[in-house]
Amino acid sequence: MSLSELLRLTGASGDEEQVRAYICRALQATDVDVAVDNIGNLIATKNAPPGTPMPTPRIMLTAHMDEPGMIITSIHSSGMLTFKPIGALDAATLLGSHVLVGDKGIPGVIGGKPIHRLQESERRNIPRMDSMMIDIGAADEKDAATLINIGDYAVFAPASGSWNLAGTLHGKALPSRVGCAMLLKVLALELPVAFTAVFTVQKEVGLRGAQVAAYRINPDIALVLDAHPAQDFPGVDAHHQEAMLGAGPVLNAGDNLGMDVPLTSWLARVAATAGIPVQWQAKPQLKRETSVMHTTRTGTRTATLGLPCRYLGSPYQMMSQSDIDYAQQLITDALMRLAKGESLPC
Amino acid sequence: MDTWHALQQLATTGGPSGYESPVARLVTQMWQPYVDVIRTDALGNVIAHKQPTRSGGIPAPAVMLATHMDEIGLMVAQVEENGFLRVVAMGGIDLRQICGKEVTVHGKTAVAGIVQAVPAPFRDDKEPDHIPTWPDLFIDTGLSTEELRQKVQVGDVVTFSPPCKRLHGDRVAGKSFDNRACIVSSLVCLQRLARVSHAVHVHAVATVQEEVGLRGAITSTFSIAPQLAIAIDVGHGDTPGQPEHDTITLGKGPAISLGPNIHRGVRDRLIAVAKQEQIAWQNEILPGHSGTDAWAMQVSQAGVPTAVISLPLRYMHSTVECVDLADIAAIGRLLAHFLADLEPEEVWRWANVSV
Amino acid sequence: MLNLLTALCNAWGPAGAEQQIRALIAGYAQAHSTEVQTDTLGNLIVRQGTPGGKRIMLSAHMDEIGLMVTFIDDDGFLRFTTVGGVSPAVLYGQPVRFADGLTGVVHCEKLNDIKDLKIERMYIDIGAESKAAAEERVAIGDMCCYHQSLRQVGKRVVGKALDDRVGCAVLLSVMQQISQTPYDIYYVFSVQEEVGAHGAKTAAFAIEPHLGLAVDVTGVGDTPNTVPLAMKLGAGAAIKVMDRSVICHPKVRGLLDSTAKDKNIPHQVEVLPYGGTDAGPIHTSRAGVPSGAVSIPTRYVHTPGEMVDLSDVQACIDLLTAFLTTKCSW
């Protein structure tokens, strides 16, 4: 298993098969029980080793497998493809991007009218997504139809080449695949605690997978691994920067759709004990899996470990390796505490 | 009962969200002869159950067909002097289209009225190009203050009362074809199922309160806990000025939708049945929220495989919605063949947790 | 009533941090019931009546709107975000209070045009002279609420958080009134209503009520040049027909209406084109719950000067008490 392989996979919401199959393979030779539910969540159950002394709360960890993408709505007579967005795509970054279409990953580009032909108003405005098409180089509609079906999904092409900053990751689908890689690492550990790791589907179109998985598993505590928007770039006032790359995982007191400040504060204390830096933020209205899980059935304690990420929804997102390493350590420490029967503050 | 006759009856009956009972009574009458049990639940959903009529060897799974029966409407917010009523919208009303339309106010007795709006110069924004909305909308009943107060009170619902007309060929126009037309499709399906055998439990549901947030689908799916659920709803028909790839075509049969809300196995099966029975069908791409009951059904409890079948309809949420009667019948046929051919093993496979 | 209402409204408890207000309400409730519990999300659930009877869930939310600190700048000023529906125009210049009693005042950067008044340009001044001084008292994520005491003005009261502490007061009073009831009543003092009625959702799932009633405030149309709403102060308990979260079950609405008529309790009809209550998540819980709401007409909702008429509060108590002690079939 490697993160770089996960990042190369395509998996728009509703089309997570490649990612799911990859993770299934990665778990094949392990002691983890693997199941797939009817919406496509991959549910990995890790049992506690025999002789584990005390019962612990039912713990669920999630990371989502899907990324924002596109779905092909028609093949134009020119052989170009019209599409609609799936999830939160940054329209401003679409023009001039490389994409991969369908299961076979047919390469294409999104081009547009050359600047020379633009009206003054067109130069100033972000072009509408419904005016863009994907060009796969097909001669005409018939030619394109040999490669593409209507309803095929498309995603940004993976980043190529290396990055000039050691310790920084970049590319598409980082929020999803980094979380998946982290969950796989947790599953590989021998911890004296049972937990269920869910690789969820359809987060980007409305937190769909997490909702049904939480209903099925009915956890006492659910921890989510996801990106947290970082805006530590020029032109943004300090109080709007949200989070910084490299300053540690984000604990968000403002996850007010899944608000559980006591649990989040407990995670901060776990981090402090281990010398793990965290960024304490208060950003509400983030679309987090916690927001559907905390009101599942009779209620669930939930918190998110946020990984600072710049340029969400674009083909070149950025994360810091050190944030990921710290988050990995934090989640392990938290599980160890729960294994020892530490009770959570209310 | 033929499709046109059934549609006329359903579409001319008033039943805005939360006040569907007149429609519920009609649906119950229409479906009852073809099912084993029919009931109305706590929120008013009509749930018809038809037992399997052949054995599939293993326990029969439950398949739910959902068609919503509510329509968009208005509600009286204030009874004013001289026969006027202030109203608020219930559901996604196209406010560009309602001024000058005839309505029925469902008071102690039915009261006719016309919708109008405060003229632009007297509205807060004073913008003649802006569409009037609450609180600037009102109904003129022409009644005296006293007469109106006797007949109408705050909280009474209002429905549109346009004619339901046959156009050229199989095309028809009227209100509330969204989604009463699909209730007729379910009727066609049930009529056909009565003559063939099937190995699954069929639960045909006429849901309430779809237009205000899929509320009836949320509760009825919870209580039925089906292994498979299909929403039958209307889709945007071909209209000038709308891109062809973003609409479905009237007269070309059911649209079998695809997108994250749709289980691929179920969709493939529906397409296979359409091909086998030579029923024309078309694609409809739904990139996220399908705008149908299926969006709620898919995430009921621990998840339900769902599909969406769309009836092409023009001018959605207007008083002149247009559909093709042949499409209504074709959806009924498709569903009946799909359900008759369905093997329990297949449904359990879609529904169950599997490796 | 005035004492109870004053204690409840003056207490502190924004959405997600209801510990203080919960403890206060629990104290009152324990006098009337031995079954007082707190669930996972923090809802306070009080049970009263006849086990085995039809379960009725009454829900009044105990959380209030507030602010949450997002950033502390070098000079000790606090930037913030809103918790629930807070208007910048109402907030401007208002005193606020934190959980530990720390107070501050909300102000704004220099504006060239009052139209530029946005939450992003506002800050809280707690009188700290530096970042370090501020950090000794507050942390990012801390919340504060309007700092305002309840006052009586004529037959009416004015204060913060009447939304929905007045509903909590109604529930506690009904609890006190009822000695015999055929029903198995669950009084829910719910959390996180102001950010999406989260508490009522999980409570309804747990209770599985046969009937649900929200008790919350509603808007009115009886002030100068305002929206044409039929509700007004002093005209009695408002029986809800519809808001954005629920279309009340016609039977529930009818039962409340006939109870009010039978007992000569002042009442009015409520159609609210905006807003929502706990009745939203209750009525779509599990297989569906016939639900309605009894509302207290309130002026200036979500300001530190919310106003209700005490006679309306009494009407709500009378209506609910009559409803819950009369056996009727539905």
Instruction: Say yes or no: A243 contacts chain C, CB-CB below 8 A.
Output: no
Asked if residues C253 and C292 have their Cβ atoms less than 8 Å apart, the reply is: yes
Q: For chain A, first and last CA: distance in Å?
A: 38
Q: In B82-184, which ranges are E strands?
A: 84-90, 102-106, 110-117, 137-140, 157-160, 165-166, 171-174
Q: Which amino acid is at A266?
A: W
The pLDDT of residue C90: 96
Contacts with A219 from chain C: Cβ below 8 Å: none
CA-derived radius of gyration, chain A: 21
The C residues from 212 to 271 touching A (CB cutoff 8 Å) are none
CA-derived radius of gyration, chain C: 20
Asked if residues A134 and A285 have their Cβ atoms less than 8 Å apart, the reply is: no
Q: What are phi and psi of B342, to 5 degrees?
A: -70, 130
> Taking the mean position of all CA atoms in its chain, how far away is CA B285?
19
Task: Name the segment(s) of chain C with CATH classification 3.40.630.10.
Answer: 2-64+160-325
Helix H segments across chain C?
2-10, 19-29, 88-91, 131-137, 162-177, 198-207, 250-262, 279-283, 310-325
Distance CA C259, CA C249 (A): 16
Q: Looking at the partner chain, which of B42, B77, B79 has a beta carbon nearest the beta carbon of C288? A: B42
Distance CA B244, CA A209 (A): 32
Q: Greater confidence, B285 or A112?
A: B285
Q: Which amino acid is at C263?
A: K
The pLDDT of residue A135: 93
Q: What are phi and psi of A109, to 5 degrees?
A: -130, 155
A308-312 average pLDDT score: 91
Domain C2-64+160-325 indexed as CATH 2.60.40.10? no
B31-42 average pLDDT score: 97
C88-115 average pLDDT score: 96
CA-derived radius of gyration, chain B: 21
Distance CA B76, CA B154 (A): 5
B127-153 average pLDDT score: 88
Distance CA C291, CA C250 (A): 9
Chains within contact range of chain C (3+ C-beta pairs < 8 Å) = A, B
Task: Give the tokens for residue B183.
Answer: 């209730």
Residue B354 to residue A215, Cβ atoms within 8 A = no
Contacts with B350 from chain A: Cβ below 8 Å: 38
The pLDDT of residue B181: 98
Beta bridge partners of B122: none
pLDDT tens digits, one per residue of C308-322: 999 999 999 999 999
* Extents of the domains making up chain B: 3-71+175-351, 73-160
Contacts with C290 from chain B: Cβ below 8 Å: 42-43
Distance CA B186, CA A235 (A): 58
The pLDDT of residue A39: 96
Span C66-146: which CATH code?
2.40.30.40
Asked if residues C224 and C230 have their Cβ atoms less than 8 Å apart, the reply is: no
Instruction: Count the helices and strands in chain B (H runs, E runs).
Output: 9, 17
Q: Which amino acid is at B338?
A: F
| Of A50-54, B337-341, C13-17, the least confident | A50-54
Work out the angle at residue C174's Cα, subtended by the Cα atoms of residues C172 and C180, and round it to the nearest 5 degrees.
Answer: 125
Q: Point out the catalytic residue in the list C193, C194, C270, C306.
A: C193
Q: For chain B, first and last CA: distance in Å?
A: 47
Whole-angstrom CA distances from A249 to A62, A179, B285, C70, C143 are 16, 12, 38, 16, 22
At A255, the pLDDT band (50, 70, 90 cuts) reads low
Residue A259 to residue C38, Cβ atoms within 8 A = no
Chains within contact range of chain B (3+ C-beta pairs < 8 Å) = A, C
Distance from CA of B71 to the nearest CA of C (A): 14
Residue C164: is the preceding peptide bond cis (ω within 30°)? yes
Q: Which residues contact B268 (CB under 8 A, 6 or more apart)?
A: none
Percent of chain C scoring above 70 in pLDDT: 100
Please say if the pLDDT value at position B240 is more than 50: yes
Span A3-67+172-339: which CATH code?
3.40.630.10
Instruction: Say yes or no: C40 contacts chain A, CB-CB below 8 A.
Output: yes
Q: Which amino acid is at B41?
A: D
* Helix, strand and coil in chain B, % to nearest 5: 30, 30, 40
pLDDT tens digits, one per residue of C49-89: 999 999 999 999 999 999 999 999 999 999 999 999 999 99
Contacts with A278 from chain C: Cβ below 8 Å: none
Distance CA B239, CA C271 (A): 36
pLDDT tens digits, one per residue of A133-191: 999 999 999 999 999 999 999 999 987 655 656 788 888 999 999 999 999 999 999 99
Do the interacting molecules here have an ipTM over 0.85? yes
Closest chain C residue to B215, measured at CA: C284
pLDDT tens digits, one per residue of A108-119: 999 877 777 788
Closest chain C residue to A257, measured at CA: C195
Q: How many other C-beta atoms lie within 10 A of the C-beta of residue A74?
A: 18
C105-110 average pLDDT score: 96
Distance CA C104, CA B188 (A): 67
Q: How many other C-beta atoms lie within 10 A of the C-beta of residue B94?
A: 14
B238-261 average pLDDT score: 93
Residue B155 to residue C269, Cβ atoms within 8 A = yes
Instruction: Say yes or no: A238 contacts chain C, CB-CB below 8 A.
Output: yes
Q: Looking at the partner chain, which of B45, B77, B212 has a beta carbon nearest the beta carbon of C247? A: B212
Distance CA A18, CA A26 (A): 12
Residue C247 to residue B18, Cβ atoms within 8 A = yes
Closest chain C residue to B137, measured at CA: C228
Asked if residues B25 and B38 have their Cβ atoms less than 8 Å apart, the reply is: no
DSSP-derived letter for residue C245 is: S
Which of the four CATH numbers 1.10.760.10, 3.40.50.2300, 3.30.465.10, 2.40.30.40 does domain A69-156 have?
A: 2.40.30.40
Instruction: Say yes or no: A205 contacts chain B, CB-CB below 8 A.
Output: yes
The pLDDT of residue B208: 97
Residue A84 to residue B355, Cβ atoms within 8 A = no
Instruction: Say yes or no: C302 contacts chain A, CB-CB below 8 A.
Output: no
Distance CA B294, CA B284 (A): 14
The pLDDT of residue B354: 63
Q: Looking at the partner chain, which of C40, C42, C71 has a beta carbon nearest the beta carbon of A298? A: C40
Catalytically active residues of B, by annotation: 210
Q: For chain C, first and last CA: distance in Å?
A: 32
Asked if residues C173 and C315 have their Cβ atoms less than 8 Å apart, the reply is: no
pLDDT tens digits, one per residue of A261-282: 889 999 999 999 999 999 998 8
Chains within contact range of chain A (3+ C-beta pairs < 8 Å) = B, C
Residue C81 to residue A284, Cβ atoms within 8 A = yes
Interface test with B, best of C229, C247, C272, C283 (most B CBs within 10 A): C247
Q: Looking at the partner chain, which of C230, C248, C273 has a beta carbon nearest the beta carbon of B154? A: C230
Q: Which residues contact A291 (CB under 8 A, 6 or more apart)?
A: A207, A255, A257, A258
pLDDT tens digits, one per residue of A69-101: 999 999 999 999 999 999 988 888 888 889 999
Task: Encode burial over C195-227: b for 16+ CB neighbours within 10 A, e otherwise.
Answer: bbbbbbbbbbbbbebbbbbbbbbbbbbeeeeee
At B355, the pLDDT band (50, 70, 90 cuts) reads very low
At B95, the pLDDT band (50, 70, 90 cuts) reads confident
Residue A212 to residue B301, Cβ atoms within 8 A = yes
Q: Which residues contact A213 (CB under 8 A, 6 or more apart)?
A: A37, A41, A43, A60, A62, A198, A200, B302, B303
Question: Residue C165's closest CA among C2, C5, C3?
Answer: C5
Interface test with B, best of C271, C274, C295 (most B CBs within 10 A): C271
Distance CA A267, CA A273 (A): 10
Asked if residues A69 and A154 have their Cβ atoms less than 8 Å apart, the reply is: yes
Distance CA C299, CA B79 (A): 21
**DSSP conformation letters of B276-341:** HTT---EEEE--S--SSHHHHHHTSTT---EEEEEEEEBSTTSTTEEEEHHHHHHHHHHHHHHHHH
Topology of the domain comprising B73-160: Elongation Factor Tu (Ef-tu); domain 3 (2.40.30)
**DSSP conformation letters of B228-269:** EEEEEEEEEBP-TTS-GGGSB-TTS--EEEESTTS-HHHHHH
Q: Looking at the partner chain, which of A202, A211, A213 has a beta carbon nearest the beta carbon of B260? A: A202
Question: Residue A44's closest CA among A16, A66, A63, A67?
Answer: A63
Q: Looking at the partner chain, which of A36, A71, A74 has a beta carbon nearest the beta carbon of B287? A: A71
Q: Which amino acid is at A261?
A: V
Helix H segments across A196-304?
208-217, 261-274, 289-293
Closest chain C residue to A219, measured at CA: C40
Distance from CA of B237 to the nearest CA of A (A): 15
Architecture of domain B3-71+175-351: 3-Layer(aba) Sandwich (3.40)
**DSSP conformation letters of C149-218:** --EEETTEEEES-HHHHHHHHHHHHHHHH-S--SSEEEEEEES--TTTSHHHHHHHHHH--SEEEEEEEE
Closest chain A residue to B350, measured at CA: A38
Instruction: Say yes or no: A140 contacts chain B, CB-CB below 8 A.
Output: no
Closest chain B residue to A131, measured at CA: B243
> What is the average pLDDT value for chain A, to the nearest integer?
91
Task: Encode burial over B117-144: b for 16+ CB neighbours within 10 A, e otherwise.
Answer: beeeeebeeeeeeeebebbbbbbebebe
Interface test with A, best of C109, C198, C205, C285 (most A CBs within 10 A): C198
Work out the angle at residue A154's Cα, subtended by the Cα atoms of residues A151 and A156, and round it to the nearest 5 degrees.
Answer: 170
The pLDDT of residue A258: 60
Residue B135: is the preceding peptide bond cis (ω within 30°)? yes
Distance CA B226, CA B64 (A): 6
> What is the average pLDDT value for chain C, to the nearest integer?
96
At A234, the pLDDT band (50, 70, 90 cuts) reads confident
Task: Encode burial over A148-175: b for 16+ CB neighbours within 10 A, e otherwise.
Answer: bebbbbbbbbbbeeeeeeeeebbbbbbb
* Extents of the domains making up chain A: 3-67+172-339, 69-156
CA atoms within 13 A on the CB side of B155: 19
Q: Looking at the partner chain, which of A86, A211, A212 has a beta carbon nearest the beta carbon of B260? A: A86
Residue C250 to residue B18, Cβ atoms within 8 A = yes
Closest chain B residue to C239, measured at CA: B155
Question: Residue B143's closest CA among B113, B107, B104, B115?
Answer: B113
Return the residue matching tokens 């993160």.
A3
